[in-house]
Amino acid sequence: GGAKMAAGSGGGPAARELFAEGLLQFLRPAVRQLDGHVHAVRESQVELREHIDSLATELCRINEDQKVALDLDPYVKKLLNARRRVVLVNNILQNAQERLRRLNHSVAKETVRRKAMLEAAGGYPQGLPGK
């Protein structure tokens, strides 16, 4: 009884498959766009880390060249702490981007599978027998 009831709800299996297909088509561009944004943020994080490294090196050089006792160590430590946080954020973004890529791959695979099921079930008009 449960299978018959499930098949009857929502306009039948073909209608549910069409809805799922539409949902997948809707999700794919959003996932790709999000992946692009994450990639751009990761690139800017790498650039920021390089600037922090450069600034820390320059501060150390200035500190060594100073005749006057100017203690720049606290600033260097703050920069290195900021760099560490940038690296942590970059790792988080990298993991998120990897999950997005896997999701995008799954969505694409599911779309292909559902199209094949619809064609096999005759969900598309003029389906050729034996294909």
15-72 pLDDT, tens digit per residue, is 877 887 788 888 888 888 888 898 899 899 989 989 988 988 888 888 777 766 667 7
Domain-embedded: residue 1: no
Domain-embedded: residue 8: no
64, 74: one domain: no
110: containing domain: 70-123
DSSP the chain: -HHHHHHHGGGHHHHHHHHHHHHHHHHHHHHHHHHHHHHHHHHHHHHHHHHHHHHHHHHHHHHHH-SS----HHHHHHHHHHHHHHHHHHHHHHHHHHHHHHHHHHHHHHHHHHHHHHHHTT-STTPPTT-
87, 105: one domain: yes
Task: Supply the pTM of this predicted model.
Answer: 0.53
Between residues 63 and 125, the one the model is more confident about: 63
